[in-house]
Structure 1
Amino acid sequence: MKLWHLQAFFWTSLIVLACPVQGDEISVAVASNFTGPMKRITAEFEKDTGHKVLASYGGTGKFYAQIKNGAPFEVLLSADDETPAKLVKENTAVAETQFNYAVGKLVLWSARPGLVDAAGDVLKTGRFEHLSMADAKLAPYGTAAMQTLKALGVYGVVQPKIVTAENISQAYQFISSGNAELGFIALSQVLKGGKIEGSSWLVPPNLYTPIRQDAVILNKGKGKPAAEALMKFLKTDKARAIIKSFGYELS
């Protein structure tokens, strides 16, 4: 091989090694309760695969409506298992891709220390003016909150005090800002380093239907390497460790 051929080969090799593998972009609709874990998972996923995640966070019910109206989402990380199943049934999502990535936990929380007792009896005493919770018609955690209030037999008493939020993130904002003294949110929103600031009551799981959160590839993401890579990554030990650290159970 001539010298100039060797030199050309050498510099070409350096350029190839210096240029990182270009991944694809993927548009993901993420249930707002999963914001914290998803941001950490995204960072690890992008670092490991070269793909880029464009995540939108919001209520599952609103995402469903947007997807049905043609929103360009390729993957849905839902706050329930019913919405992905419904999208599959309506031929809007890929059936064989649906799987459970987390089981959520409901918590009654207040930013004020001492307000919420360890047994949740504050709901029976009614010593508060406003109780925040996500819309039960749109948000699975709102449904769980409603089921809890009814199971405890206090819904009729506290109903006038309920401040309905569009989604679980807004419910958290109402409580953290003091606009509502307490409310029902996802444990993942307030669990930091294994501790919860303020005061809280972890709602016993027998008081509400299990919050099984499923992921599914939507039709717009069918056959796309980035979508398939994300679903695979969510099942890895690395991703599952992150999910568990936010208080979720794993199936």
Structure 2
Amino acid sequence: MERRHLFIGTIFCCAVIFLFGASALFAGNLMIAAGAGYKKPVTEVMKAFEKDTGIKTDAAFGNIQMVASQAKQTGEISCIIGDQKLLDALGSTVKFTDYRLIGKGILVLAYRKGVVLEKPEDIASDKVKSLFMPQDKKAIYGTAGTEALESYGYTTKLAGKITQVATVPQVVSYLLTGEADAGFINLTEAMANKDRLGGYLIVPQDKYKEIRIVAGIVKGFENKPETGKFIDYLQTKNAKDIFAKYGLK
């Protein structure tokens, strides 16, 4: 099990690198990166931004450690969208000149079709034999999931059920294939896949630390006109409506 998940994580890293290799063909495009769990709304906002401004954009998605590493290596990423705590923790890997709030992240417990959960505490029942979550410390909702488990007093009790993978979309994939009975993901991904999941439960916000989803302006890009226009665009009604549609407000 562990070897397979490491292999999948390696493939995902390669996919992120491939995106950057391909982006070199579009020198001059505005480069944006974001946590993988926000791919759908960020992609939609970027398309709207391109349509409204004519400025071409490229993007990469992964856990924050992945995209931060790529930002450092390529020097091309002007903005990273993710949890402010994780961006702050990057230290010297990537430095930011400012943050713009997009919305508050919501942790949910999603479950596959064929499983019915009535409350988050049901993960400790026989209904759930496998619980998947993103990597703690590297992915926003891995950290939040770990905090929730600690709050419920389930860290040790459920250790044998838990499998960590690289990103939120990977957790969703395992839920959709039926390999995972339940998993911690964000509300954004849960809403985007609601017809394919068995359902989801919002985890009470007092069970984990506040998640502030922000756009971090990478140092060196703060005076770039395209970067400024994108950051300003995030505050427009159009962008806010897109994010709200995916549970970010």
Does residue 37 of structure 1 match 2:38? no
What's the counterpart of residue 106 of structure 2? 105
- Identity fraction in percent: 24
**Cα deviations by residue, 1:145-191 (Å, 9 ceiling, x for unpaired):** 01111111122121111111111121111212212111101111121
What's the counterpart of residue 6 of structure 1? none
Could you tell me how far apart the structure 1 residues matched to 2:57 and 2:204 are? 34
TM-score using structure 1 length = 0.81
Q: How big is the shift at 1:34? A: 1.0
Q: How big is the shift at 1:224? A: 1.7
Could you tell me how far apart the structure 1 residues matched to 2:45 and 2:211 are? 20
- What is the Cα-based RMSD across aligned positions, in Å? 2.2
Residues 98, 217 of structure 1: 8 Å contact kept: yes
Could you tell me how far apart the structure 2 residues matched to 1:126 and 1:139 are? 27
Structure 2 vs 1, CA of residues 125 and 178 (structure 1 numbering), >3 Å: closer, same or farther? same
**Cα deviations by residue, 1:90-113 (Å, 9 ceiling, x for unpaired):** 494342x31211211111111215
TM-score using structure 2 length = 0.81
Pick the aligned partner of 2:84 from 81, 84, 105.
81
Q: 1:221 aligns to what SS in structure 2? A: coil
Could you tell me how far apart the structure 2 residues matched to 1:90 and 1:228 are? 23
Q: How big is the shift at 1:65? A: 3.0
Q: How big is the shift at 1:71? A: 4.7
What's the counterpart of residue 149 of structure 1? 149
What's the counterpart of residue 72 of structure 1? 76
Could you tell me how far apart the structure 2 residues matched to 1:104 and 1:27 are? 23
Pick the aligned partner of 1:57 from 61, 65, 82.
61
Structure 2 vs 1, CA of residues 175 and 114 (structure 1 numbering), >3 Å: closer, same or farther? closer
Q: How big is the shift at 1:39? A: 1.6
State the one-letter code of the partner of 2:106.
K
What's the counterpart of residue 95 of structure 2? 93
Could you tell me how far apart the structure 2 residues matched to 1:182 and 1:193 are? 14
Spell out the pairing of 1:170-209 with structure 2 (5 A cutoff).
170-192=170-192, 197-209=197-209
What's the counterpart of residue 136 of structure 1? 136
Q: How big is the shift at 1:51? A: 0.6
What's the counterpart of residue 29 of structure 2? 25
State the one-letter code of the partner of 2:84.
D
Q: 1:122 aligns to what SS in structure 2? A: helix
Could you tell me how far apart the structure 1 residues matched to 2:180 and 2:61 are? 22
Could you tell me how far apart the structure 2 residues matched to 1:111 and 1:86 are? 33
Residues 35, 61 of structure 2: 8 Å contact kept: yes
Structure 2 vs 1, CA of residues 76 and 238 (structure 1 numbering), >3 Å: closer, same or farther? same
Structure 2 vs 1, CA of residues 193 and 111 (structure 1 numbering), >3 Å: closer, same or farther? closer
Aligned residues: 222
Structure 2 vs 1, CA of residues 90 and 192 (structure 1 numbering), >3 Å: closer, same or farther? closer
Listed as ranges, the gaps of 5+ residues in structure 1 are 1-23
State the one-letter code of the partner of 1:112.
K
Q: Which has the larger radius of gyration?
A: 1
Structure 2 vs 1, CA of residues 158 and 99 (structure 1 numbering), >3 Å: closer, same or farther? same
Spell out the pairing of 1:221-240 with structure 2 (5 A cutoff).
221-240=221-240
Listed as ranges, the gaps of 5+ residues in structure 2 are 1-27
Q: How big is the shift at 1:220? A: 4.6
Q: How big is the shift at 1:233? A: 0.4
State the one-letter code of the partner of 2:218.
L
Residues 27, 72 of structure 1: 8 Å contact kept: yes
